[in-house]
Amino acid sequence: MHSFAPRAPRAARAATGAAILSLALLATGCSSDTAATSAPTGPVSMEFWGWAPGYDKLTDQWNAAHPDIKVTFKQIPSGAKGGYDQMTNAITAGKAPCLAQVTYNDIPSMLVKNALMDITPYASGDTGKYLDWTVAASSAGGKVYGIPVDTGPMALFYRTDLFQKFGIATPPATWDEYAADAAKVHAADPGVAFGTAPQDAYDMAGLSWQTGKSWFGTKDGAWQVSIDNPGTQQVAGFWQGLKDRNEVMNSGNAWDPKFNKASETGQVMTFVNAAWAVPGIKGDLKDLAGKWAVAPMPTWAAGESTSADSGGSATSVLTGCRTPQQAEQFAAFLSSDPAAVSTGISVGGLYPAAKAGLDDPLLSQGDPYFGGQKIYDVFKRSAANIPTNWVVGPTFGQVEADYSDAIGKGGYAQATTTVQQKTVAALKSLGLPVSGG
């Protein structure tokens, strides 16, 4: 694969992202509520729904400092596991919380459903605090629909003890080296998996992002769907080969019980994921402290440093909230208050979207769980080498559901083709102009 081109200017990326999201709104003719300007009298109580670890503690920090604006946190399943359905059902029933965690991937689809409130009147003074691309991912048509919390720079998590056991001196720098190491381990002990196979659209999106081939784009006022592109098929073929040779386990990672059991018995050696996976592995695999390390995500060609992003969320105000100004104040606190940022890093593994948060001292310290390694040095390098051309489409929830279903029924290549076709149909069913398919 050719070398990755220099990163585009942040301002250009921000403008592009906003234009892309704007198209989704204009094409469907929908318009989310604009935050009302009337201020409530007396104390305010609001609810906040999310799934990231540490959000309960962040809410406690807010409440301690703001006795007149009480926020109650409710843990819900992640968006892809039913959280977004709970939000939209609650909006329909008139019982929605004011605040909710929404990933950047899902902001467009939530806008299409009229689920998010325009908080521009209150947020416009805060947006300069965050990385420009996260502001763009949380905005549409110059309007703000969420306050960025974190990003998901990707890396390779690996077992140092098992690498030593199987005579692997250094973590693989390329995917070819990854495959060679996987074959070596399988030959020595077929009961040990070198890594974990992609399970869903989130996994496939992160791995495909690294190839520089976006799943969506826009041209001449229409959405372009290109999920079935050469980059994604390259990823599909690579992982299908590893899976067919039984060199990787067919499971998730860090929070999957099957993965945890395999880790505890020394039967899996690596997994690829984002910075936010850190608290998952530390919490679920406490007895393996000192045996895990973090390395850059392998690349498709030697000498490259191209990485990818997986996940990252904003805090959005849901349609119908009667105290949007106070809701935005809480969201801004969660994302940019220095103490809150530190809690997000230490408890939730949240790699900050706030510019000042990137200088948090916690990001420069060694982590005892990882043998004292300064793991965030790896994530910092990853974050600086994420291709900027990735475009999020307006129906990621549909993409996720269809990918998970298709992967379960067949190989990655056919699943990719199937999802391409179903996504084009889904966009058309929403009345969106679309090309590709």
Domain assignment present for residue 43? The answer is yes
The Cα 106–Cα 80 span in angstroms is 9
String of DSSP letters for 24-56: HHHHHT--PPBPP-PPPSS-EEEEEEE-STTHH
Tokens for 14, please give them: 């921000």
CATH of the domain at 354: 3.40.190.10
User: Are residues 342 and 214 located together in one domain of the fold?
Assistant: no
User: Are residues 285 and 430 located together in one domain of the fold?
Assistant: yes
Beta strands 195-196; 248-249: pairing state: parallel
Domain assignment present for residue 373? The answer is no
Tokens for 186, please give them: 């399988």
Q: Give the DSSP letter of residue 173.
A: S
Structural domain for 122, as ranges: 10-152+311-359
User: Are residues 174 and 264 located together in one domain of the fold?
Assistant: yes
Nearest to 314 by CA among 72, 128, 136: 136
pLDDT of residue 25: 40
pLDDT of residue 111: 93
Domain assignment present for residue 1? The answer is no
Report the sign of the C-alpha dihedral through residues 148, 339, 350, 129, in that order: positive
User: Are residues 193 and 86 located together in one domain of the fold?
Assistant: no
Domain assignment present for residue 23? The answer is yes
Domain assignment present for residue 27? The answer is yes
User: Are residues 335 and 269 located together in one domain of the fold?
Assistant: no
- Tokens 């849901």 belong to 318
User: Are residues 325 and 288 located together in one domain of the fold?
Assistant: no
Domain assignment present for residue 374? The answer is no
Domain assignment present for residue 160? The answer is yes
Total domain count for the chain?
Answer: 2
pLDDT of residue 372: 97
pLDDT of residue 340: 97
Total residues found in the chain within this entry: 437
User: Are residues 280 and 194 located together in one domain of the fold?
Assistant: yes
User: Are residues 200 and 73 located together in one domain of the fold?
Assistant: no
β-strand partners of 101 = 315
User: Are residues 304 and 315 located together in one domain of the fold?
Assistant: no
pLDDT-flagged residues of the chain (< 50): 1-31, 35-37
User: Are residues 329 and 292 located together in one domain of the fold?
Assistant: no
pLDDT of residue 264: 95
User: Are residues 210 and 301 located together in one domain of the fold?
Assistant: yes
Count CA atoms closer than 13 A to 328's CA, side-chain side.
23
Say whether 296 sits in a helix, a strand or coil: strand
The Cα 6–Cα 17 span in angstroms is 18
- Tokens 């606190």 belong to 333
User: Are residues 297 and 318 located together in one domain of the fold?
Assistant: no
β-strand partners of 316 = 100
Domain assignment present for residue 50? The answer is yes
